[in-house]
Chains A and B, each alone.
Chain A
Amino acid sequence: MSEQPFTLAIPDADLEYLRKKLDVVRLPDELDGAGWQYGAPLAHIQRLLAHWKDGFDWRKAEAEINKLAMFTRDVDVEGFGTLNIHYLHQKSEVKNAIPLLFVHGWPGHFLEVRKLLPILTAKSPDHPSFHVVAVSLPGFAFSEGPKKPGFEGRQYAEVLNKVMLALGYNEYVYQGGDWGHLLGAHVAHQYGHKHVKAWHSNMPCYRAPKLLSNPFLTLEPYYSAAARQRISKSAKYRVTGSGYFLEQATKPQTIGYSLADSPVGLLAWIYEKLVAWTDEYPWTDDEVLEWISVYWFSRDGPAASVRIYHALTGGSTHDSFAGAARSTIPLGVSYFPKEIIQLPKSWTQLLGNVVFESEHDKGGHFAATEQPEALAGDLRKMYGKGGPAHGVVPGRNGYD
C-alpha cells in the first residue's frame, strides 16, 4: 500500500479498558526515605496515576498529535515481507530544503521531533531549512513490528532508507540519538554516500579503542583528566542504570508481559528513565502521560518495542555496532552534559568522519525534547552556508 495519511484515533474501547485497569492498580510500598535510590518514587507514581485516571485528556493530546503531518506506508523488507510503517513528514516551504531523517530510540518515539519541526523547517537566508521525516521504528508507536526473529541492524536500516527513497529523497541526511544513533551507524554503513550523505548524533558513543590499533586513544584516559571525567560520568548509568538494558537484551518477552499488562508498570519503567536521563527537565504530568500513552496505545503493544535490544545485540552476545563498519560520510556530533554514556571526545573519530562537534552546558539524553534550539542550532551550523557539511545533498543545500 502506498502512502496513506494517518490519523491517530484510539478506539473508545481501548480508553475504557485502560481506565478499568487503572481502577484496579495494586501499588507496592516503599522504603522510608527511598527517594530515587531504588527506582521511580512511589509518590511520583501515585500522583501520575491519579492524573492518568482523572485529569489527563488523551483525546486532547491525540488531537494535537493529529496536527502533525503523519502517514503510513507499506515497506518491503527482504525476508520479512511487508511492514506498515508510520512516519511524520513535514516539508519546508524552502524547495531546496535538506531532507533530514530523524530517528528516535527507546523509550523515545517519533514525537521527540515535535519541538524541532518549526525550527528545522523555518525559512531564512541566515540558516538552512530541512524537510523533516521522523519514522516510528518498527515495533514502536504506530509502525508495525517484525513478526519473525532476525530483524537486525541491516533490516532497520533498510526500512529507514526505503521510507526516504519512497518519499522521493534519494539523498538525505540523518539525525539520531539512543537507538537513532546506533542505527545511524548501520544506515551510514549500508547507504553512506549513495543515499545518506551525512549524519549527526546527539549520543556519540562507540566501541572503546583497542590498544594495538589505537594506542594513543586507548591510553588517553590514563593521562587526560578530561577524558577520565567523561568516562566517570558514564559510570552511574553503567552501574546503576542499565538493568533495563540487560533484561531487554536477554529476556524481552519476560519483561514484555509486565509492560503489556500493567499501565503503572509501564509508567514506572519509562518514567524512571525520563527523569534519570534528562538534565532537570521540568516534565509536566501531561507530558509524561502523553509519552507513556503512546507506548501503551502503540500498534503492537509495548512489549514489541523492547525486542530491538535483543535483536541488535544478539541477545547480549555482542554490541550494537556489529555489522556496521565505520563510514566516511561526514559526521556531526553534539555533546550534552547529562547524556548517559560519555566517552573521551577523541574516541568519536572511531565512530565516523567527524566534521562537526558541539558541546553544550545543559541537556541530557532526550536532547530534542530538552534542548531543541541547541540541537537544531547544531544542525543549522553543520549544514548551513560555511558549515562543514554544507551542500552534501546535491541540489538541496537548504536555501532557495
Chain B
Amino acid sequence: MPSEPNPASPNPETPFTLSIPQAALDALRQKLALTRFPDELDDAGWAYGAPLADVKRLAARWADGFDWRAAEAGINALPMYTRPIAVDGHGTLDVHYVHQRSTVAGAVPLLFVHGWPGHFLEVRKVLPLLMASPVDHSDGHVSFHVVALSLPGFGFSEAPKKPGFAGRQYAELFNKLMLSLGYEQYVYQGGDWGHVLGTHAVAHFGGKHIKAWLTNMPMFRPPSFLSNPLILFSSKLPYADSALRARAQDAMAQYRAKSFGYMAEQATQPQTIGYSLSDSPVGLLAWIYEKLVAWTDNYPWTDDEVLEWVSVYWFSRAGPTASARIYYEMTGGSGDLVSVLSTKRTSVPLGLSYFPREALQGPPSWASTTGRVVFTSTHTKGGHFAAHEQPEELVGDVRKMFGKGGPAYGVVPGKDGYDA
C-alpha cells in the first residue's frame, strides 16, 4: 500500500522488490560446494558451539534443496520500500523498510525495530495481528500502521560509511523515516538492538514524537553502582512462578558465561570477524544459527526457516560484516554492554514484556531509571526472538498496552487505533 503523502517531506519513496542476482546465487552455491568443514570432538553436542551434524545438514540443504527464489517471492509479498534518509554527519542512507498500513484510518503508527542477528522479517508474524481484523474489526483489537525497517547495515538498508554511527544517529534516522511517512507521532516496539536503540530514540524524540514504547528485552541500567548486578537481577524478576524465574536466571547466566564471545569480538574487532562472515557461508551460518537456537525457547526451527534467515544476512545489501559494526559503535569499541543504553530518563510511557528465555532482562524497578513503566507482562514461554517465537503473546502485550482501557491507550492524538 502506498504511504500517506507528506508534503513536508519531499524524500522519494521507491517500492522495493527483492531480487538477488543469479550471479550471487551461483557464487553462493560455488562456495558451498567448496566448503571445508572442521572435525568435532566426540559427543560434543552444543557444548562447543553449533554442532557439526546440524551445520553439515543445513549447508547441504542450502546448496541443494533450499529454494531462495521461493523465499524471495514470499518476502516480496510484504509491502516494502526504500527511501533516502539524511543523517547529520553521515550523508544520506538508503533505508529499506516494510510499511503496512491498516485499513483502520485511525490506526496507531508503530515502528518495529529488530536487532542482531535479527532482521526486518521478524515483523512478519506480528504484522497481520497488528492490523487487527481488516474487514469488520469484529475482533475489536487496536490496529496499527506498521513500519519495520532494516537497520543501516542490515537487510537491504545501506550501511554507514564512516565511524561514529551510534545512538543519536539511529534515533535521528528512525524519526526521520517515520516523519517522512507522515507519522509525526508514533509508538515503538523493539528487542535486542531494537530495545537498546529504543532508549536512544526515546531520549531524543520521546514525548514530541515517540509517545510510548514496548520492549521485549527489558534490560536497563541498575539504579546505582553495583558490583554484582546479577544478584539483584535474580531476586527481583517479575515472574510469579519460581520455576519461570529460574529459567530466566539460567538464560542470563548461560549468556554471560557462555554466549558472550560473539559480542566481545564484534564490539572490539568487527572487521576481523567480518572477513569470515563475508567469505564463508558455513562460517556465517554457524555464527548465527548458534544464537537462533541458544536464545530461543525450544523453538522448532525448520531448516528452510534458518536458511532463509541466514540468507538475508548472506545476501544483505552491505554484506554481513556491516551488521557487526553496531557493537563497536555503540560500545565505543569496548564491548561494555551497560554503556550501550541511553542514560536519559524520560516520562515516556514504557511497557515491559518478559519472556523466560530472554538472556538480558532486569527487574522492572530498573526500568524506571529510563522511563515511566506503565505496563509489565510476563510470559510462560518464549525467548529472545519474541516476535518470531511468540507473535500472539507479543501482540497480546501490544494490544493490552495500547488498546482501549490500556495504560497507553490513545497516546497518539487522533490515532487511537480504532475506527471512529
Contact = CB atoms under 8 A, between A and B. Distances in A.
A301 B38 CA distance: 7
Q: Is chain B's binding surface mostly helix, strand, loop or mixed? A: helix
| Chain A interface extent, by class | 35 or more
Nearest to B260: A246
B50 A149 contact: no
B38 A259 contact: yes
B265 A243 contact: yes
B283 A31 contact: no
Contact of B270 (A39, A241, A266): A39
Contacts, number: 225
Given A38-B328, A239-B334, A261-B37, A24 B30 contact: yes
Contacts of B282: 257-258, 261
Contacts of A256: 38, 48-49
A250 B258 contact: yes
A337 interface: no
B335 interface: yes
B275 A17 contact: no
A259 B272 CA distance: 12
B89 interface: no
Contact of A38 (B48, B269, B283, B285): B269
B162 A254 contact: no
Interface string B264-306: 1111111111111111111111110010000000000000000
B50 A254 contact: yes
A197 interface: no
A30 B44 CA distance: 36
Query: Which of B30, B257, B280 counts the most A-chain CB atoms under 10 A from its CB?
Result: B280
Nearest to B267: A243
Given A39-B271, A41-B271, A42-B271, A257 B261 contact: no
A262 B276 contact: yes
B47 A149 contact: yes
B257 A317 contact: yes
B43 interface: yes
Interface stretch (A57-65, A302-310, A380-388): A302-310
Contacts of B49: 251-256
B395 interface: no
A29 to B, nearest CB: 7
B275 A262 contact: yes
Nearest to B161: A32
B198 interface: no
Interface of A: 17, 20-21, 24-34, 37-42, 45, 146-149, 239-244, 246-262, 264-269, 272, 300-304, 307, 310, 315-317
Given A26-B31, A33-B163, A258-B287, 4 more contacts: A21-B34, A28-B271, A261-B37, A302-B38
24 contacts: A24-B27, A24-B30, A24-B31, A31-B160, A31-B161, A31-B163, A34-B163, A38-B272, A39-B270, A239-B334, A242-B264, A243-B273, A251-B259, A253-B38, A253-B49, A254-B290, A256-B38, A258-B282, A260-B37, A265-B276, A265-B280, A266-B276, A272-B272, A303-B39
